[in-house]
Amino acid sequence: MRIASLLVLLLLAPPSWGAPRLLVVVSVDQMRADYLERFAADFAGGFKRLKERGAVFLDARHVHVPTETGPGHAVILTGRFPSETGIVGNNWWDRVLDKDVYCASDTAHGLGPEHLLAYTLGDYMKAQNAGSRVISISLKDRAAILLGGKKADAALWYDKFSGEFTTSSYYRRPGWLDKFNSRLKNKGGLLFGEDAFRLKELVYEPKADLMTLGLVEEALRRFKLGRHDSTDLLAVSFSATDYIGHRYGPDSAQLHDQLLNLDADLEELFETLDAFVGAGRWDLALTADHGVTARPEDPSGKGVTRVLFTEMGARLERALQYQLPAKEPWVVNEYPNIYLNRAQAERMGRDWPLFLREAATILGAVEGVAKIYVGGEFGAGDPYAEAYRRSWMPGRSGDLLVRAKPGVLMTDRPTGADHGAPYDDDTHVPMIFLGPDFKPGQYKDRAWVADLAPTLAALLGVELPPAKGARVHGEILAKP
């Protein structure tokens, strides 16, 4: 599959033109920055190329909470934080509808960017030049949708129940997608002979990223990316590292094997781009949506304590009921956004702002809690307060936001690793720029993932100003 597809692309060598014809943005879901060094001796492909030839930021971080797939992918290409994107979690509680809301749900289309309140780099590119093609691909629907934005020509993701890549009615479904899915399932395809159980389990194998790569190669050819008069954008989220990391942990042999396979996949991607777009005619940025905290049973998880969301919710409820007894539960939804029963507080004659401050004081003493923030009142002097300020949106975020103590793994998973905290393991991620328009080397100054989109926009001459506190990294641009 690899050799045959590459030969086809080599026969379609592009004409000579100025760079970049194609901008590629890669997110490796759940990749911690330390993986680049930990497995450096084993990397012989894409990660090795990125480290040796790229502009590598050694101190790149996400600076919002929770560090989850939805918020992280929204930050990458909008350059905006949850307080502006509206993606305050993978899910949040809708007080009006009285139900949980998924970040990529769409009222009219089932799935789509309805809840994304900021524009992506691709949206700005298409507004400036309608001829630009914007394509996003991932195993996960929320990753593809939040990278692709509102005006993507295609956003494609994997349906693990059908074993096929798909999209929603919000986006135009490519006419060739059914044929591609058939090839996956036909004899010789990656999904040949897999039953329904295995189709769901495949996301926990390196093969999942290889399927994503196959679709990327197909999309390059079908959409003729990098062959237009204006710059095209291809956004790819490789998701298998997240699935495997959750199940087996960051210290596992399975995670090591996954990264070695992804190393080979990335090198194939680079070779394919050279063949189809042309060496020196494309630029690429790689980062991650978040990192991960080790499992308590892992060697690096010494001192980590697992606390389930439901357990934390029960602790919070007991604390409130002990000091503020009431007939109904106080906690409507918990962690990290805590939604409280406002109607009950008002029936009891409580002043709501004062009640929230009182509740925050009570809950701040609960076991495992480092700090409770009142929405909109984050104060100063707390090194994490700004991350919570950037992450709070009135009407969508919780009434209170909880920060667990370092070493407390807050999760809805009774086993496995997880992420979501504002601490290093979850926030420190790679950020690397590769291509002729970037100056290679190691950059030690602090960088935020929110810097990525405005830096790429500056390269393209697209108007996308940095968010408050973020910046354009002109020092890496070969032609500032």
pLDDT in tens, the chain (480 residues): 454 444 444 334 443 334 599 999 999 999 999 999 999 999 999 999 999 999 999 999 999 999 999 999 999 999 999 999 999 999 999 999 999 999 999 999 999 999 999 999 999 999 999 999 999 999 999 999 999 999 999 999 999 999 999 999 999 999 999 999 999 999 899 998 989 999 999 999 999 999 999 999 999 999 999 999 999 999 999 999 999 999 999 999 999 999 999 999 999 999 999 999 999 999 999 999 999 999 999 999 999 999 999 999 999 999 999 999 999 999 998 878 999 999 999 999 999 999 999 999 999 999 999 999 999 999 878 999 999 999 999 999 999 999 999 999 999 999 999 999 999 999 999 999 999 999 999 999 999 999 999 999 999 999 999 999 999 999 999 975
- pLDDT of 1 reads 45
The pLDDT assigned to 415 comes to 95
State the pLDDT at residue 480: 57
Residue 39 pLDDT: 98
Burial class (CB in 10 A: 0-12, 13-18, 19+), 480: exposed
Please spell the DSSP secondary structure of 135-154, one letter per residue.
EEEESSHHHHHHHH-SS-SE
Q: Residue with structure tokens 């496995």? A: 416
pLDDT of residue 372: 95
Q: Is 162 helix (H, G, I), strand (E, B) or coil?
A: coil
- Cα–Cα distance for residue pair 357/68, rounded to 1 Å: 27
Domains of the chain listed by start with CATH number: 2-291+428-476 (3.40.720.10), 305-411 (3.30.1360.150)
CA-to-CA distance for 112 and 116, rounded, in angstroms?
9
Burial 190-201 (b: 16+ CB within 10 A, else e): bbeebeeeebee
* Per-residue pLDDT at 479: 78
Q: Residue 58 class from Cβ within 10 Å (0-12 exposed, 13-18 middle, 19+ buried)?
A: middle
Q: What would the two tokens of residue 206 be? A: 């390196």
The pLDDT score that the predictor gives to residue 3 is 41
pTM of the model: 0.94
Handedness of CA 345, 348, 353, 354 (dihedral sign): negative
pLDDT at 263: 98
Distance between CA 62 and CA 69 in Å, rounded?
Answer: 12
d(CA 420, CA 303): 18
| H helices present in 280-351, as ranges | 309-323, 342-347
| Contact of 134 with 228, CB cutoff 8 Å | no
pLDDT at 436: 96
